[in-house]
Structure 1
């Protein structure tokens, strides 16, 4: 009986000293806004660094934030770049002593070909919440989806010989923010190209141009059957943001 009382007392002591500690965690696209519900969220994992135990996990939700506040307003030491609706994950952990944790963010969660993992490490102090702007992790890149041709599409040479062969891709910032001519994210400032390989060898490079919001197109010509690969990339020389998508198709 004495043994059980000691165990119960130990458990009681652990829970009595443990304090609920809240941490606001946000994922922000590099040179853009926050990742929230409209893009399916960013996945967040908070781990104890000593034993790798997961203390909290979940997805960010909310809006991408206020464009003027994030992208245009002057910044100073105490300025905030979020409002009440801005996307976040509120992690709640129970700890009884200062705990060194890692915070991992996987984003965009629903676009695996563009997904990046970004992490940081921080001490959490029992009962000392980290709220407001919270901990912001920056996600670099672009999300690119090749729309034409389709993955592993079989195309008869007779149907395309002597005609422009269209390549089409949708390109957005990592928060889903739109790319447009003359917009906040100006298509004219990005380099967008398609690299075409046939049977493992480069056969052409095509500049892609914006035809409508987020939609880029270019044309090439195909004169021989084979196994083809298209690599579409976007590059921002000012920020270093990059993004890539690849597909394969067959011409017979």
Structure 2
């Protein structure tokens, strides 16, 4: 059993590797996309410097905590789209009947689907997050926690996207709903949770996964708490298991489009 799992993971990592290598055929475009993504993200540092010049803290966050929040948001977003980019465009595959080519491969269907594409500009997001950590709040302990939460956050984001995308097995226009919730998750993740109260805070911690992807990890990195760390890890396993279950339940309803399409 363990050998089979290792083989599947090895195949998935190879798929990601070859996706990146394919994008690197045009090195100028590849490096330009990464560089401009870093610069695009860096533009927001000026905005926060101005805000903190006016006020010492925002929602209980200082400049250091906000940069840590932005760094983690960028890195989790980046890693999720480097490894699992297709999870964010799953509705298109379902609605257009393009899952056929994945069903006939001798690989795990779910892993084959979500690792079949890579967003190379997301490498810039991942690097930007690490740069922010190193510049504004570096410590060895915080770096290790940052790397751990980047992995858990990427897994949660991909699982959430997979969960929403799988609704397209049942509902025709579920893609619009899924896109709206994913955009909301990304937008809220760049603001301190201290500015949200009542229904908005409930939404971020109980409906959208922002709390477990960004807010709790940031609090753990600032003031370590083993209980919060355990909750984050448990939530990661739970949402991944739920998303996997929903995907395979929906796959039973999938109707082929009879497209002649081959995957290498």
Give the TM-score category using the shorter length: under 0.3
TM-score w.r.t. the length of structure 1 is: 0.24
Larger radius of gyration: 1
Higher relative contact order (CA 8 A, sep 6+): 2
More strand by share: 1
TM-score w.r.t. the length of structure 2 is: 0.24
